Amino acid sequence: DFAVGLLLATVLVYLVMVGQFRSFVDPMIVMVTVPLGFIGVALILKLTGTRLNIQSFMGIIMMIGIVVEYTIVLLDFANGRLQEGADVQQAIVDAALVRFRPILMTSLTTILALLPMAIGFAGGEADVPLARTIVGGVIAATLLPKFVVPCLYVLVKRRKDRTEDMDAVWA
């Protein structure tokens, strides 16, 4: 079952992030980017007339890893700025500005490297759905989370700060 494998991969990725962030909330912000990648996957498969098969599901699993990595880099930098004393909004703005270029460069190299295979020039017709899936997901995951993740980060962190302030008042 492809769906079971996809679900298992997503749960395992989430659990690894819980350990890395030592938080259940930050990994949830990261996981929000996964459906954004699916938007790109659905669009590219629809536009190219490519069907879902084992190769495209393998591409989806790879795309999840790539998308998650981009957001982890962003949140890790923002959390570091928070620990240095920056306010929430400044921390995520700094993270977005500093990490945008490396994320964009990684995305472009991934897309450009897979483009010949996605078009079918690489000679392996069986790998076309895999390449198209990754390309579509990476395009969407490079563009869409740049707006969604900072907004969610600010909302979640400000709410957490207010909750901690209320706990201090009642203590």
Domain of 35, CATH number, reads 1.20.1640.10
Q: What is the mean pLDDT of residues 100-129?
A: 88
Q: What 3-state DSSP class applies to 97?
A: helix
pLDDT at site 122: 61
Q: pLDDT: is 163 or 85 the higher one?
A: 85
Mean pLDDT of 95-104: 92
Q: What is the span of the domain harbouring residue 115?
A: 2-162
Residue 169 to residue 103: CA distance in whole angstroms: 41
Q: What is the mean predicted confidence (pLDDT) over 14-36?
A: 88
> Structure pTM?
0.81
pLDDT at 168: 47
Contact 67, 144 (CB under 8 A): no
Average pLDDT estimate for 111-140: 88
Confidence at 163, pLDDT banded by 50, 70, 90: low
Considering the domain boundaries, does residue 39 fall inside one?
yes
Domain count for the chain: 1
**Contact, 141 vs 108, CB < 8 A?**
no
Identify whether the C-beta of residue 14 lies closer than 8 Å to the C-beta of residue 149.
no
**Which pLDDT does position 13 carry in this prediction?**
82
Residue 116 within any structural domain of the chain: yes
Q: Which amino acid is at 15?
A: L
d(CA 130, CA 59): 4
